[in-house]
Structure 1
Amino acid sequence: MDQNAHVPCAALASRIRALAALVLLAGSALGAWAQASNPLTPELLNYVQRLALAGARAGAPEQARVDIQLGQLDARLRLAPCRQVQPYLPQGQKMWGKSRIGLRCLDGAQGGARWNVSLPVTVQVYARAVVASQALAAGTLLTQELLQSAEVDIAAEAGQVFTDAGQLDGRSLQRPLVPGEAVRSSDLKARRWFAVGERVQVLASGTGYAIASEGQALEPGLEGQEVRVRFENGRTVTGRAVGERRVEVLL
């Protein structure tokens, strides 16, 4: 699941299209707020709420319950009156946890200066995930008896959550968890896929092709980390440890 929960590709594409359509409405729909000197009118806040909700649902599980809490603009701001305010999602910004939505003035009233500010937003996404059934210390070897399923805010922290306790069998915690706390990928110790000197399979892939070969690991293969591998001809490559004695190289 990235960054937090798995969403089927077709459903995700549909949600992204809906979000894009909502964003495109901003330029024309906000004309109704042309005379507002205070940018946070009820109409604007309603639009921002919808924009944040659409952004959150684009990356959330299908049955997730989403709650949007809008914050306040910085009290020190002194914004000039504006005839047209446009909300927008900042590039690369994810509507997940502590986030923000941009507000920009497209048409300053009475020659007023244009401005661009951010409105803080808190996005909570409630879905079922695997949680600790009791207090678990750092270093605990996870078993299904130590875990259970519960509805939690999967957007509260960074890291992937899990829906199947079986995926966590044999994994070790790198930090303690309290009862009811979701187990996230960032809570787990990286798995060691192979040791220095072991023979490993190397898969090198690029556009339209893939080549498999074998070499010797020059470094321990920790899950997701880069490692150097030397082939019999003396050439070395750097790839990512992705499985039991397996290294992936993207060309």
Structure 2
Amino acid sequence: MVCFNFGSANGICISYFLLVISCLFPLPSVAKSVNETEVQIEQAMQELLSGELRQWQQQSAIKQLDFNVQIKVPSGVKRLARCQSQPTFNSANGLPIGNVQRKVSCSDQGWSLFVRAAVDVTARLPVANRVLKRGEVVTAADLEWRSVQLGMSDKDLLTQSQQIIGQQVLRKIRRYKAIKAVQLSAPQWVNIGDRVIIEARSNGFYANMPGEALEAGGEGQAIRVKNLSSGKVIVAYPLAPGRVATKF
């Protein structure tokens, strides 16, 4: 197209020329610029991690669980064809908390790659309202419920107060932090060197005698005890602080 006029007419001619060119050679649409494979992987991993967290919430009877998942797909995914079937992910141990990495594969297109995600999780859990030191036995007064931000190291958490009350502290428990199973154990009812009462029962027969614990133990644990009446060493099981029983 040729224009002989100048000024505003020239501007009109140029605009008309660009309009014609855009019709003959349309620009790529914004929708098409979005990589379908990237979107597919993001959606699949989002569903996977969300499902794992919801399953943990249900199994652990957690009333309130909030989380945010940010998927980080590598730039190389733009060169991959969209998976015609559902992408598959490798299995992983533990909860998807903090920095997570999973391998995703597509069998029909023959590709696989690693995808990362940043997962922020907050759960309402029973926590200690004071520092609990090694050897203390946890009481109901030591606990309260709070929303706790969880990290990568927060595994095997205790989510119910009945799992905690009455247990003995093995590792220091910090105030308002999630409590882990490895931090607690059944209380030690008998310590090495303790004087104990040995109880024996069988077919209506009952007897008790003094003894000395040669090992420490909690409820149901087998420990060696010396019968101070006979001098014999026997195996007994703690029943309560200062009391053990033999089994026939």
What is the TM-score with the length of structure 2 in the denominator?
A: 0.51
The separation in 2 between residues aligned to 1:154 and 1:242, in whole angstroms, is 37
The separation in 2 between residues aligned to 1:36 and 1:227, in whole angstroms, is 69
**Given that residues 104 and 114 in structure 2 are in contact (C-alpha distance below 8 angstroms), is that contact kept between their aligned partners in structure 1?**
yes
Corresponding residue for 2:184? 188
Structure 2 residue 82 is matched with structure 1 residue 87:
no
**Given that residues 104 and 115 in structure 1 are in contact (C-alpha distance below 8 angstroms), is that contact kept between their aligned partners in structure 2?**
yes
Corresponding residue for 2:7? none
Change (3 A) 1:36 1:155: same
Change (3 A) 1:166 1:119: closer
Higher alpha-carbon deviation: 51-60 or 118-127: 118-127
Corresponding residue for 1:139? 134
Instruction: Give the CA deviation at 1:106.
Output: 2.7
Residue identity (%) = 17
**Which of the residues 47, 64, 67 maps onto 1:50?**
47
Amino acid at match of 1:128: R
Instruction: Give the CA deviation at 1:50.
Output: 1.8
**Which of the residues 110, 133, 148 maps onto 1:152?**
148
Deviation string 1:104-148 (CA, Å, 9 cap, x unpaired) is 13344xxxxx332232234444332211223x1532623333321
Amino acid at match of 2:56: G
Instruction: Give the CA deviation at 1:53.
Output: 1.0
Change (3 A) 1:176 1:143: same
Change (3 A) 1:95 1:145: closer
**Given that residues 49 and 96 in structure 2 are in contact (C-alpha distance below 8 angstroms), is that contact kept between their aligned partners in structure 1?**
no
Amino acid at match of 1:100: Q
Corresponding residue for 2:107? 106
Deviation string 1:174-209 (CA, Å, 9 cap, x unpaired) is 1241x321222222256436678x989xxxxxxxxx
Corresponding residue for 1:27? none
Change (3 A) 1:97 1:243: farther
Instruction: Give the CA deviation at 1:74.
Output: 5.6
Between Structure 1 and Structure 2, whose CA radius of gyration is higher? 2
Change (3 A) 1:53 1:170: closer
Q: How many residues align?
A: 180
Corresponding residue for 1:175? 172
Corresponding residue for 1:235? none
The separation in 2 between residues aligned to 1:152 and 1:181, in whole angstroms, is 7
Change (3 A) 1:100 1:190: farther
Structure 2 gap ranges (5+): 1-31, 200-212, 225-236
The separation in 2 between residues aligned to 1:69 and 1:223, in whole angstroms, is 43
Instruction: Give the CA deviation at 1:79.
Output: 7.8
**Given that residues 130 and 147 in structure 1 are in contact (C-alpha distance below 8 angstroms), is that contact kept between their aligned partners in structure 2?**
yes
Instruction: Give the CA deviation at 1:161.
Output: 1.6
**Given that residues 100 and 119 in structure 1 are in contact (C-alpha distance below 8 angstroms), is that contact kept between their aligned partners in structure 2?**
yes
